[in-house]
Structure 1
Amino acid sequence: MSEGNDGAIRELLEHLRAEREVLRTGRFGELAPLIAHKESLLAGLAGTPGARLAQAQRMARENQRLLAAAIEGVRAARARLGEIVQGAQGYQSYDQRGRAQRISPERPTLEKRA
């Protein structure tokens, strides 16, 4: 293996570390340029034996898990916000006879004092 491939692997590992930090800190807007750069780094590794790429593969899988967890967190937050908004608009309940009834939040009234 050439020294060029060793340098390319080191650069890829550094890139994956930077990508992990972006994911861990939630700076998702920075991911698009990182992905483009990673694709060019991977293209430079063509012909490198798989054993040399094992560490990079492990790091890439960890980053993939972090990204999946971030996506799931956003979905959960979005669902919770939906519940909060829906709750603020009122909810359905049942009276003593089992009939459905809408319970709306009280609207604030304006009280004027002289």
Structure 2
Amino acid sequence: MSESSDGAIRQLLDHLRQEREALRAGRFEELGPLIEHKEALLAGLAGTPGARLARVQHMAQENQRLLKAAIEGVRAARTRLGEIVQGAQGYHSYDQRGRAQRISPERPTLEKRA
């Protein structure tokens, strides 16, 4: 194992740890620059035997799993917020005869007191 390759692998592992912490903390704004730096680190590993990169691959896959979970969480939150907004605007139901009807939320009334 060459020293330069060892150093590059260590740098990439440290970088992947930073990426993992950003994902876990929800600091998604940090991911753009991290990805660019990761690409440069990966380019430095060109020609390294795959067996020596097993730990890097495992950590990268874990980060990918975290990123996928974060994306799914954001999608679920967007869906839920949409449901809340839609519910606040009213909903459709059926009357006793099976006809569709819209049920709107009650509008607050303004009461003036002396």
- The reply to whether residue 7 of structure 1 matches residue 19 of structure 2 is no
The count of corresponding residues between Structure 1 and Structure 2 is: 114
Amino acid in the other structure paired with 1:70? A
Offset, 1:47? 1.1
Distance 1:112 1:32 in 2: 54
Partner of 1:78: 78
Cα RMSD (Å) of the superposition?
0.6
Offset, 1:2? 1.6
Amino acid in the other structure paired with 1:31? L
Partner of 1:32: 32
Structure-to-structure mapping, 1:31-110, within 5 angstroms = 31-110=31-110
State the TM-score, normalizing by the size of structure 2: 0.98
Amino acid in the other structure paired with 2:65? R
SS of match in other structure, 1:102: strand
SS of match in other structure, 2:32: helix
- Deviation string 1:76-98 (CA, Å, 9 cap, x unpaired) is 00000000000000000011111
Runs ≥4 in structure 1, deviation > 6 angstroms? none
Percent identity of equivalent pairs: 84
For structure 1, the residue ranges without an aligned partner over 5 or more in a row are none
Distance 2:12 2:86 in 1: 46
For structure 2, the residue ranges without an aligned partner over 5 or more in a row are none
Offset, 1:65? 0.5
Distance 2:9 2:46 in 1: 11
